[in-house]
Each structure stands twice: as C-alpha cells, then as structure tokens.
Structure 1
Amino acid sequence: MKDVQLSNPADQPKQHGSAEGHGQPSSAFEGVPANALPLTASEDRQWATLAHFGGILGFIPSLLILLIFKDRGPFTAQEAREAFNFTFPPTLLAFAAWLLSLLPTVGGLFAVVNALIWVAIALSSVVAGIQVNRGRPYRYTVNLRLFK
C-alpha cells in the first residue's frame, strides 16, 4: 500500500513534537489538572444522596464515595461518612448471617435474620437519601460512628 498524501497541508495530521507545535502538545491532548475541582452545590448534594442510597448494597458505595470525594465536597464528605458508619456494622452482621445460613439445621433462621438486616438497611438508606436529596443533613438514630 502506498501512503496517501493530502493535497492541502492543513489536512495533514499534526504530529506531537512537530515544528508547528514547537514540542507542545496539541489542544486535543492536554493534560488533566493534578487536583480535582471542588464539587458544585448540586453535585455535592447528588453524591451525598448516592452515598445514602448506596447503603442498599452495603457499605462499599459509601466508602468509595467518601474516599473519592471527601476533599471535594464538604456535604458529601459528611453524609458519606454518616452512611458508611451506619452501613458498615450491619453489612458485616448480614455477611455473618449469610455464612451461618449455609448450616443445615439452623440455616433457615439465619437466612431470615440476613433478610431482615438487609431490609432494615435498605429502608433506612432510602429515607436518608430522600432527606439528603432535599439538602438536609441526615443523622441515623442508631449509628456507632466508628470513623470520624
């Protein structure tokens, strides 16, 4: 195959480090700033809401949101920490109940306990998520607040 030459030099693709760019990257390949930008007020409320709604899946969503956004939005950091502190112990209890549900004789009892734990976490997380979505901070009535 032959290399096709375009007749107009402006149609030629620019090469990184070419004489035209003087060694500077072209605008299509600019770098990302090292520090992420702060969240806007609506983004802050959105991520805080998702931290609570994520409690339906356990503590992992609130932990990830806390680790990623803790320095970018104060409301998100506060609410993700609250959601994580609330969901962490019951998630561990639900996991233990799930393991014990595999036992042949008492497994059914632990399966019911596991289901009740998840229902309680889910309902509490939805109530909290609705309140936080309205812009109101939420405090769970029963929360160990292990991590500050």
Structure 2
Amino acid sequence: MARRYRGLADGPTVTGMTEPPRPPGDSTGGAPPPDPTTPQPPPSGGYAPPPPPPPGGYAPPPPSGAYPPGPGFAPPGYASSDDKTWALIAHFGGALGMFISGGVLGFVAPLIAYLVKGQQSPTARSHPVAALNFQLTWSIISVVGYVLGACGSLVIVGAVFFLVPLAATVLGVVFGIIAGVKANDGQPYRYPMSINMIK
C-alpha cells in the first residue's frame, strides 16, 4: 500500500510539465498576442471588426441627431422654446386680460409679447400680432359699448349696449384659449372676427 502512494508522488510535477504541443501550421511560436488597440486587417469575409473601446472604458457618444429632445431643444413649430413661451403669453394673456378687465384690456399681454419678441423671429411675431389684432378689435368694441350704454337715454338702449362688452369679453376669453391650445401644439391660429390693424 505504501508503495502505491509512493509511486503517485514520484510522478511528474507541475514544474516538470511542458507546454502542450501546438497544432500543425501554427506559426506564432512564442509571439505575444496582438495588441487590441491597433487596427487589424479585415478578415476574409470583408467585414471589419468593431473598433475597440477607448482607454477609459467609455463607449463613444451617439451621432448627432440621436439624442432625445430635452429642455434646451426647440419645440415643434418654433425656432426656440423662448418663442413658444411668448406665443403662449400672447394668447393666454389676452384671454386673461379680457376676463379680468371686463373686455377692455385684452390687448395688453399680446402687445407686451409683440414688443419683446416681435422683431426677433417671424414665428415670435406672428402669434402676438394675431392675438393683438383680435384682442384690440374686441377691446375697442367693448369700450364703445360701455360708452354708448352709459350715454343711452333709454333703459332698453342702455341694456343692449351693456351686453356688447359682455359678448366681447366672452369672445376674447374663448378664442384666446383656443389659440393658446393651438400655439402649444406648434400650430398657428387664425382668429375669426378680427381686424388686421397691425401687420
């Protein structure tokens, strides 16, 4: 029994082992493996291998145009997000002005948007101009209705002319909101019943 164990221990050790024989036709011999960062010729199939990763281990950035839109990108229909903001101020601000002032000051917000952004881009000009023409038209009609209602000698005439500012207020609010929703989607809106005083 002791002989059997001694025979196993007397066999070849790890230090005595040699490299396994190479297959025939292998000419690399003891040369080191190729460097992965150096370009390799394409294989016989004609396809080049993918480029190796950069030394830091980070993947290269995607090509331009592959980034998803973010807060710094222009929304659809506008040259910049600033243009969209001022378009919404013109439309929704006009509706709010008509509601608060009883149909008189609906033109204030579109006028401010026109003065601030109207000279910078065609899109930033078109929305405030459309809102300004509509709200200014109905603000003038509302003021005329108030004046004629206050000056009317007959009760019936006065009541009729006080209904004109109410109708102007409703129209200014409703169409201002519709235009604001369209502008939020990047679409221009053509106001009905509007006089083009500003072009």
- Structure 2-normalised TM-score? 0.51
Q: 1:59 aligns with which of 107, 110, 121?
A: 107
Instruction: Note the C-alpha offset of 1:94.
Output: 0.2
Equivalent position of 1:139 in the other structure? 190
Q: 2: distance between equivalents of 1:131 and 1:120?
A: 16
Can you give the 5+ residue segments of structure 1 that lack an aligned partner in the other structure?
1-38
In 2, the alpha carbon distance for the partners of 1:143 and 1:97 equals 17
Structure 1 SS opposite 2:191? coil
Please list every run of at least 4 consecutive aligned residues from structure 1 whose deviation after the TM superposition is greater than 4 angstroms.
none
Answer yes or no: is the 8 Å Cα contact 2:137–2:194 preserved in 1.
Answer: no
1:102 to 143, 150, 164: 150
- Contact 2:110–2:129, Cα closer than 8 Å, also in 1: yes
SS of structure 2 residue aligned to 1:146? coil
Q: Give the letter aligned to residue 81 of structure 2.
A: S
Structure 2's unaligned 5+ residue stretches are 1-77, 98-105
Q: CA RMSD in A?
A: 1.9
Work out which of the two has the higher radius of gyration on C-alpha atoms and give 1 or 2.
Answer: 2
Higher-helix-fraction structure: 1
Distance 2:121 2:128 in 1: 10
Question: What SS class does the counterpart of residue 142 from structure 2 fall into?
Answer: helix
Report the count of equivalent residues. Answer: 110
Q: Distance in 2 between matches of 1:44 and 1:73?
A: 8
Greater relative contact order structure (CA < 8 Å, 6+ sep): 1
Normalised by the size of structure 1, how large is the TM-score? 0.66
